[in-house]
Structure 1
Amino acid sequence: MTPVSDPRLGAFLKARRAQLAPRDCGLPETDSRRKVAGLRREEVALLAAISVDYYTRLEQCRVRASASVLAALARALRLDDDQQRYLYELAGRADARPRGRRPAQRVRPAVRRLLDQLAETPAMALGKRLDILAWNPAAAALYTDFARIPADRRNYVRLLFTDPVVRALYRNWEHDARDAVAALRMEAAAGPEDPELARLVGELSVRDADFRIWWAEHRVVGSAYGTKHYRHRLVGDLTLDCDTWSSPDGSGQRLMVLTAEPGTPSHDALRILASWTAGRPAPDRAEDHTA
């Protein structure tokens, strides 16, 4: 069979994954003896958020890689600048990597003021990929101390799957987690070549089997409202209406607000949380999200 791409590309991919240990890429260690040195094809495919069959055909030079796939492989295989240039040259693709730092996602001043004024109402500003860009003290009291999490790790879906405190908060975790994956699928449609999205999907696919299965279902949801059921470690059960409004500036940012019917136990619980956060300084706003 005549190769579709340069045979050196397949050889380079095989050699590079043989040089990496699973721990180098944040993969869990296993006790079983590995039949191959370095990463398996399945592991590279997971890290790059592509199918195992597609990656296998790439190594066998039976398919040409797109620029977005090359970018995902460069991240998955931890390639330095020279190795990335070599990868693009072998693939016969122009190096489409962005030059310089991408502009930060910046929350509009009006949204920041609104967050501050919603004293008894948990609220967050969500950006691309459902990154958590800003929040008020009530949201931190409900969910977790977002300030302790590095800015580039503050992502709603990531926390839902990887943070034990956030995960335990949801009484119907599976339902809400599946909806979050479906919402992230909608994000993928808007930014199919977003390298940070590919990185997030690859990370969560490796770390969580449920995410991997639900992502493969290609289910999408764009609901802007709904009801969420929580079991807070301090104030007990809450039933809150969740409403999300899109920013009118076309940035893709959204304001997520959680409210309770006045006079209900959930409303009283939110007031208790708000009283504990009264006088607490607003979250540090000096650090915007960087991508």
Structure 2
Amino acid sequence: MVQSANERLRELARFLQTRRARITPEQAGLPNEGRRRTPGLRRGEVAQLTGISVDWYTWLEQARDIQVSAQVLESIVRVLRLDSNERKHLYLLALQQLPADPTPDESSISPKLQDFLDRQGTSPAIVTDQRMNIVAWNKIASLIYGNYERMPARERNAVWQTFTSPYIRRLLKGNWENHARHRLAQFRANYGNFAGHPWWMAFIDELNRASEAFRTWWPQHDVLSGPEGQKINDHPSAGIIVFDQISFLVSDAPHLTVTINLCSTEEDTSSKLAKLLDGPAAL
């Protein structure tokens, strides 16, 4: 284990050295002092720009076993101009965990993932981030759960929609409480990674004011991960439709979760949704 930890720290040191070497003083906003013996920024310049001591930064590049905070890592990310993949790599080497909050550009999905969603046909499929914002979906999901394309960003949050949308309550009918409690427990589990973060605190405060059920259940601290199993909806056009749910993380974007509602043979769900896709509501 000691050898493994030492190798991780050596890898962190080498990574920082290579990232530092590719940044010019001009890119970092420093004056050009002419030709340098080695390319890139000096250690002292990185320390200055990140607001830490030269000794402390030097120890990082010497593979010493020192404690580092996420705040310092974010300063290093900024100064060394790391992209999202490099940022994840830095966190794994320094803290042995991924960053808790992804960068804003990481909420977008790849064309291949969108194509995968679209190929699910009559099976509603969505992608959610750690805040449970719905960031991608296929056509049938939008026809069943609401026009995500036209929704304001707040309403496109799965927790907000569950607790504040009269349409979702009607769609779930007698299953609403079980669904809402399950969704809330997933949200609480995610919140554990971000406790105290301003966005989460503001969102929870808004939901406390908007929903009596949320206000009652949130203090119970139920936590859960994974899909909710069978899901029964009463759609205004398609009628009773039944799904078996499956969820998985995106391998190259583990902060994103794909959820697919697989059409059950019960209530002839697949044929009902095929008609919905071909009907006027789909135009």
Distance verdict in 2 for CA 1:196–1:277, change over 3 Å: farther
Distance 1:199 1:263 in 2: 41
Which residue of the other structure, out of 133, 136, 154, is the alignment partner of 1:134? 136
TM normalised by structure 1 equals: 0.57
Question: 1 CA distance for matches of 2:281 and 2:237?
Answer: 16
Q: Look at both structures and tell me which one has the larger radius of gyration over its CA atoms.
A: 2
| 2:248 is the counterpart of 1:248 | no
Distance 2:206 2:221 in 1: 18
Q: Which amino acid aligns with 2:136?
A: A
Residues 169 and 135 (structure 1), Cα distance of their counterparts in 2 relative to 1, 3 Å cut: same
- Partner Cα separation in structure 2 for residue 163 and residue 263 of structure 1: 26
- Summarize the alignment of residues 1-291 of structure 1 with structure 2, pairs less than 5 Å apart: 102-103=104-105, 105-171=107-173, 172-262=175-265, 264-276=267-279, 280=283
Larger proportion of helix? 2
CA 1:249–1:104 in 2, change beyond 3 Å: closer, same or farther? closer
> Residue 277 and residue 129 in structure 1: after superposition, are their counterparts in 2 closer, same or farther (change >3 A)?
farther
Contact 1:137–1:277 under 8 Å retained in 2 = no
> Share of identical aligned residues, percent?
27
Letter in 2 for 1:168: R
| SS state at 1:170 partner | helix
CA drift at 1:103: 4.0
Deviations 1:192-228 (CA, angstroms, capped at 9, x unpaired): 2432222221111111111011110000111235111
**Distance (Å, rounded) in 1 between the aligned partners of 2:230 and 2:262:** 10
- List gaps (5 residues or longer) in structure 2: 1-100
Corresponding residue SS for 2:246:
strand
Q: CA deviation at 1:152?
A: 4.5
**Structure 1 vs Structure 2 CA RMSD:** 2.3
Distance 2:162 2:199 in 1: 18
Q: Which amino acid aligns with 2:184?
A: V
Structure 1: which amino acid aligns with 2:152? P
Q: 1:152 and 1:265, CA in 2 relative to 1: closer, same or farther beyond 3 A?
A: same
Residue identity matched to 1:135:
W
* Residues 240, 267 of structure 2: 8 Å contact kept: no
Paired with 1:214 and 1:192, the residues of 2 have a C-alpha distance of 17
Q: Which runs of 5+ in 1 are unaligned?
A: 1-97, 281-291
Contact 2:242 2:267 in 1 (8 A): no
Q: Distance in 2 between the 1:160 and 1:214 partners?
A: 13
d(CA) in 2 for partners of 1:247 and 1:194? 24
1:277 to 1:246, Cα distance in 2 relative to 1, 3 A: farther
